[in-house]
Structure 1
Amino acid sequence: MSSSPTTSAAMLSALRRARSLLPGVADYSETRRSWPKDLLAGATVGIVALPLALGFGVSSGLTAEQGQITAIVAGLLAAVFGGSHVQISGPTGAMAVVLVPIVAIQGAEAVVAVTLIAGLIVVADGLLRLGRAVSFIPWPVLEGFTLGIAAIIFLQQVPFVTTPVDSAPGEHSTNALVAAGQLIGEADWSYLPYSLTAVAIVVACMLIAPKIHPSIPGSLVGIIIVTVLAALVPNPLATIGEIPRSLPVPSVPDIDLGAIGGLLPAAGTIAALAAIESLLSARVASSMSDSGAYRPDRELVGQGVASIGSSLFGGMPATGAIARTSVNIRAGGRTRLASIVHALVLLAIVLAAAAPVGQIPLAALGGVLFVTAVRMVHLTTVRAIMRSTRSDAVGFIITALITISFDLIIAVGIGMVVAAAFALRNLSRATGVTIEEVSAGESAHPGDDSISIVRFDGPLFFASSDRIFDEVMELDGIVVVILRMSQLELVDASGARILAEVVHAFERRGITVLIKGVKDSHVDLFRHVGVLGALRDNRHLFDDLPSAIEHARSHVERASTGSR
């Protein structure tokens, strides 16, 4: 039995959509021309990514090795399967912020399982075509989110400066702000001169190196100087520790089916953050590079696959990293080859230089992340938002404060609610009701003062419907009212229902209602909700105002004759 043409067309369409989410030869069409720049850009990003991968691994409560594994495995998989030609993926500060409380509450062992589940969720998001959902998040909310993350990343480096990690006394809060205060109060003053010197050297290198030449990786230079000095001068600085000289053998994380319910909230938070951060980074990268538009749904699939692969090697969740992506673009990267080379450079470092990497002082990594956190905040952007509108400024501040105080995803949700509330308020204020005269001067007819024209402007929806009803119901002493609908824009079911109630209310008072200029897009809604059915006669619906006025005058004349 052959399938119908409609079924065949649907199957072909589904296959094309599925194919668009998979890698293809076309992904590397530009490589023949751009490979020299791609190789250089990939090597540059690999060097820049090394201290960040190590630092985010440690600051998340895990290990530098897990950060490195994530940068290698997830970076390679996201490059191949992702939807952006220039995106660089790996461990990020935002993800480290989310992981700290998860590690504190559920343990480091749970992170690998949570990473796998989160990766599956992100893949599902891509298959469900949710890639464009991030466009619904307002800009001030995103910037408030970024400011909050930057503050937390900065605060999370306090342990590396105040005291040797292994000797940190007491229990500390999972909130970065509270924990930072606790650790400063418990600071080892004999340790501070060494750690602050290490931080100062790294910060100075990161600030000075770009002024000498943009291609000099200041963070790596600073880390090398601090590591060499630490090897030559006796000091108490804590170091990364031993790092294996190879990647671990991949294996499926051991997940207790009974514990999945407890892991899902954490996995959902990680998946949401991975999706948001990766899509935003890819969108910014697309605007910075002329390598072509990114595919948001494929980007989600690719980032999900990257986190799944990272979990198989014992790594942590990955996202698109805007800082490393920007370095890639500025270094000339144009195709996925640059992202692949970046991962291979990191792998080569693991294979060839694991021992010296293990001697890097944690305070030096803290210095890298201090600067990274500060650079995430752009004062011009903050000033622009604060000077824009009060509602945007409030949304920005609330999102930032909740991000720092409570939870990243909750902060975005509340920020969106606040932004939506202000947007609805402003939109409802745009809904207007104007009472117009029928005619004036010599063109006036006897009895025109018994006719009112009510013009509706703008949107009419649930947030403005009650106010509009109250304003229209103030009309009195008239025989006929003409409701002008031609300027009415967006109408929802609540707005249409209010119009039906307006018609019913006037008719109960003995006032004849005429409706003029219903848009074609509103006809079905008005019919289903009862606006048109509320009219006394179906001839009381008009396309033009003169005809409606003429009919209204005839009603006034009959009413006047009847009264005599």
Structure 2
Amino acid sequence: MTTATTPRPALIPAHIRRHLTGLLPGPADLAPMRTSWRRDLIAGITVGVVALPLALAFGVSSGLGASAGLITAIVAGVVAAVFGGSHVQVSGPTGAMAVVLAPIVAAHGPHAVIVVSVIAGVILVAAGALRLGRVVVYIPWPVIEGFTAGIALVIALQQVPLALDTSTPTGERTMLAAYDAVRLADWSHAWLPLTIALGVVVLVEALRRLPGSLPGALIAVVAATIVAEVAGLNVTRIGELPSHLPMPSIPMIDPSILSELAGPALAVAALAAIESLLSARVAAGMAPTGRVLPDREVFGQGLASIASGLFGGMPATGAIARTAVNVRAGARSRLSAVTHAVLLTAVVAFGSGLASRIPLSALAGVLIATTLHMVNPREVRGLMKVGRSTAATFVVTIACTVLLDLLTAVEVGLVLAAFFALRAMADTTHVATQPLPGPPTRGDEHIALLRLEGSLFFGAADRVMDDIADAEAWVVILRLSKVELLDPTGAHRLAEIVRLLEARGVTVLIKGLRNRHQRMAARAGVLEALRTDQHLFNDLDVAVAHARSHVARQLAGQPVPRRR
């Protein structure tokens, strides 16, 4: 005879195992490659050409040097492409991240950035495992569109010095740098690189309108480079590149500065998550590139930053400009981002001499052409027509993105959107006086039937409660069945009004308090403020009958029951 054994419970619940498994690469990642691998290879080459000078420039502007930017583009680019949550996201160093890192380098030295990159990566990995990547769904439409439009303006402004072959002070605000570049440009020479940049823009746009999927950016850059070489034009080129990549190593962490680096690491992680998630979401809106998995995207960016730090690079994020170039070039799978990293590696190993001859103004033209299509004019027109609050959030987010920084822009946009949302929700909350049901009865004029509709929360509690307090009656019946939200402030103010009315000799009856609100009402003292537990009703007719009997006793001169 055999006895059944009770199965031992799993150490990790099934839903958690499914979530953690979903953070890792799977067969679904390979599916798009079967039909788009040719376009992906071309897109990867195109993005690689565009990413090369950006990686070098962002490395320099961060204070870590050009090689750190290139390392980040290669290492983080591959890791994020494999483990990230978007099929077309291109990751690497970005201007926003360089701005955040520059003060860290100045205060603690380049070595501290490697530590920050690893710590921030660990934070992002934990955030993905804890399902915190879904925070992007709480970012409203006008903030996303404003962020995207602001980024497009920032990218375009960043190209002005390159298009004019003019140098600007490191760390200067983008708009000021563009203004100074125009003001200080030597126009006897600047017209030449500017012509190259504008020519690239025109060529990219012309090729975009042709049938098929020609790699317009790649063709334009090659054409500009050939013209510059054949004509011997005196324009600034990419220049000398690093000759090799370092081997990975575990950074030496000084415990004495860990507490000082914790704050910057958290800020870096927040910026990486927000910028990557928004970039992936923008890419998903530009073309049918598949669903974005936010938790996996955050997880993948964390692994990318850890890997980049171990190789001596900097924290990485999804790069909107390069991702937009990738999508516009026809990418539909992760192969394009991997190809872009492989191309950068090949350039370091074999083609640094040839790539060094590319005019910077040609690459500026590619990015300017890209910004022209980052924002959908139809979306903007629709957004501006929705309402003034939506338009204001959109415009303010753009302004903060251009004038301040990306993280501040998102924060301000969220606060502004939340304020307008709360104000709109408060406007839907009101008190309506209703007639009593059934045939009129003597004394009905002494009964006030008040119906609360909407949300009784901190943004509307005072106004609504003042309307109730103004009721002149012997009995007030509060209908709460249409109250969708009751927060602690609303419940507290309701309790205060009940006590105020009862102190004036007005009997308060509550009808229709929802089950999910009863605990909040009890904790705030609403039920305790009622004269008796029998003044809480679920049926309106019963509540009205009780009120009429109460008024009838008063009209007959009978004593009115006081509080229990």
Partner of 1:474: 470
8 A Cα contact 1:47 1:217, kept in partner: no
SS at match of 2:481: coil
Q: Distance in 2 between matches of 1:387 and 1:485?
A: 35
| Residue equivalent to 1:461 | 457
- 1:541-563 deviation digits (Å, cap 9, x = unpaired): 11111111111111111111117
Query: Does residue 538 in structure 1 map to residue 539 in structure 2?
Result: no
Contact 1:435 1:452 in 2 (8 A): yes
What is the distance in 2 between the residues matched to 1:448 and 1:25? 71
* Pair 1:420–1:434, CA change in 2 (3 A): same
Is the CA contact 2:43–2:331 (under 8 Å) kept in the aligned structure 1? no
**1:114 shift after superposition:** 4.1
What whole-Å deviation, never above 9, does each CA across 1:152-210 have from its counterpart, x for those lacking one? 22222222233454xx6xx4662111222223222122320221122123212211222
Q: Give the Cα separation in 1 of the matches to 2:325 and 2:163.
A: 28
Q: How does 1:85-484 map to 2 (within 5 A)?
A: 86-91=87-92, 95-100=94-99, 102-103=101-102, 106=105, 109=110, 112-165=114-167, 171=169, 174-253=172-251, 257-260=255-258, 263-264=261-262, 266-283=264-281, 293-321=291-319, 336-337=334-335, 339-438=337-436, 443-476=439-472, 478-484=473-479
**1:133-158 deviations in Å (ceiling 9; x for gaps):** 11111110111112222212222222
- Give the drift of 1:457: 0.7
Q: Contact 1:503–1:535 at 8 Å: present in 2 too? A: yes
Q: C-alpha deviations, 1:212-241, integer Å up to 9, x for none?
A: 344222222222222223323344322211
Change (3 A) 1:89 1:405: same
Residue number in structure 2 paired with 1:561: 556
Between the aligned partners of 1:419 and 1:242, the Cα distance in structure 2 is 47
Provide the rounded CA distance (Å) in 2 between the counterparts of 1:322 and 1:407. 15
Q: Which moved more, 1:339-348 or 1:413-422?
A: 339-348
Partner SS state of residue 351, structure 2: helix
Q: CA deviation at 1:447?
A: 0.8
User: Where does structure 2 lack aligned partners over 5 or more consecutive residues?
Assistant: 1-5, 560-564
Q: Deviations over 1:249-297 (max 9, x none)?
A: 2334566555555655554443223212322344455677878644322
Q: Secondary structure at the match of 1:191?
A: helix
RMSD of Structure 2 on Structure 1 (CA): 3.1
Counterpart of 2:500 in structure 1 is 505
Instruction: State the 1:503 CA deviation.
Output: 1.2
Give the AA of the match of 2:448.
S
| Amino acid in the other structure paired with 1:460 | L
**Conservation of the 8 A alpha-carbon contact between 1:55 and 1:64:** no
Residue in 1 that maps onto 2:20: 19
Distance (Å, rounded) in 2 between the aligned partners of 1:154 and 1:322: 13
Q: Provide the rounded CA distance (Å) in 1 between the counterparts of 2:55 and 2:553.
A: 85
- Tell me the distance in 2 between the aligned counterparts of 1:145 and 1:555: 60
Distance in 1 between the 2:227 and 2:113 partners?
35
Query: Kindly, what percent of the aligned residue pairs are identical?
Result: 43
Deviation larger for 188-197 or 99-108: 99-108
Segment of structure 1 superposing worse, 313-322 or 147-156 = 313-322
Q: Is the 8 A contact 2:75 2:307 kept in 1?
A: yes
Report Cα offsets for 1:356-388 as digits up to 9, x if no partner. 011112222222222223332332222222211
Query: CA separation in 2, counterparts of 1:372 and 1:555?
Result: 74
Counterpart Cα distance in 2 of 1:267 and 1:364: 35
Tell me how far apart the structure 1 counterparts of residues 421 and 16 of structure 2 sit (CA, whole Å).
39
The range that moved more, 34-43 or 13-22, is 13-22
Alignment of 1:11-50 (within 5 A): 11-13=12-14, 16=17, 19-20=20-21, 22-27=23-28, 31=31, 35-50=33-48
In structure 1, the partner of 2:488 is: 493
**C-alpha displacement at 1:491, in angstroms?**
0.7
Once the two structures are overlaid, the 10-residue window that deviates more, 271-280 or 451-460, is 271-280
SS for the counterpart of 1:514 is: strand
Compared with structure 1, are the counterparts of its residues 526 and 10 closer, same or farther at alpha carbon in structure 2 (3 Å cutoff)?
farther
- State whether residues 38 and 338 of structure 1, in contact with CA within 8 Å, keep that contact through their aligned partners in structure 2: no
Q: How many residue pairs align between the two structures?
A: 547
Instruction: Give the whole-Å Cα distance in 2 for the aligned partners of 1:325 and 1:116.
Output: 24
Amino acid at match of 2:278: L
Secondary structure of 1:79 counterpart: helix
> Residue 91 of structure 1: CA displacement?
2.9
Deviation per residue, 1:1-52 (Å, 9 max, x gap): xxxx999456334861563255255445x54xx5543431331221121232
- Unpaired runs of 5+ residues, structure 1, are none
DSSP 3-state at the match of 1:20:
helix
Aligned-pair distance for 1:426?
Answer: 0.9
Query: 2:3 corresponds to which residue?
Result: none
Which AA in structure 2 matches 1:240? I
Give the superposition deviation at 1:328.
6.2
2:523 corresponds to which letter in structure 1? H
Deviations 1:420-476 (A, max 9, x none): 111111111111101122258xx2111111111111111100111111111111112
* Alignment partners' CA distance in 2, 1:45 and 1:431: 52
Would the alpha carbon gap of residues 237 and 333 (structure 1) be closer, same or farther in structure 2, given more than 3 Å must change?
Answer: closer
Deviations 1:290-317 (A, max 9, x none): 7864432222111111122223334443
- Is the contact between residue 433 and residue 448 of structure 2 (CA under 8 Å) also seen in structure 1? yes
Matches of 1:518 and 1:406, distance apart in 2? 47
Counterpart of 2:55 in structure 1 is 57
Task: Provide the rounded CA distance (Å) in 1 between the counterparts of 2:410 and 2:215.
Answer: 33
| CA apart distance, 1:402 | 1.4
Once the two structures are overlaid, the 10-residue window that deviates more, 296-305 or 178-187, is 178-187
Which residue identity lines up with residue 83 of structure 2 in the other structure? F
Question: Quick check: 1:202–1:368 contact (8 Å CA) kept in 2?
Answer: yes
> What does residue 550 of structure 1 align with?
545
Distance 1:475 1:212, change over 3 A: closer
Distance in 2 between residues matched to 1:467 and 1:156, nearest whole Å: 49
State the distance in 1 between where 2:431 and 2:551 align.
23
TM-score normalised by L of structure 2: 0.87
Change beyond 3 A, Cα 1:516–1:15: closer
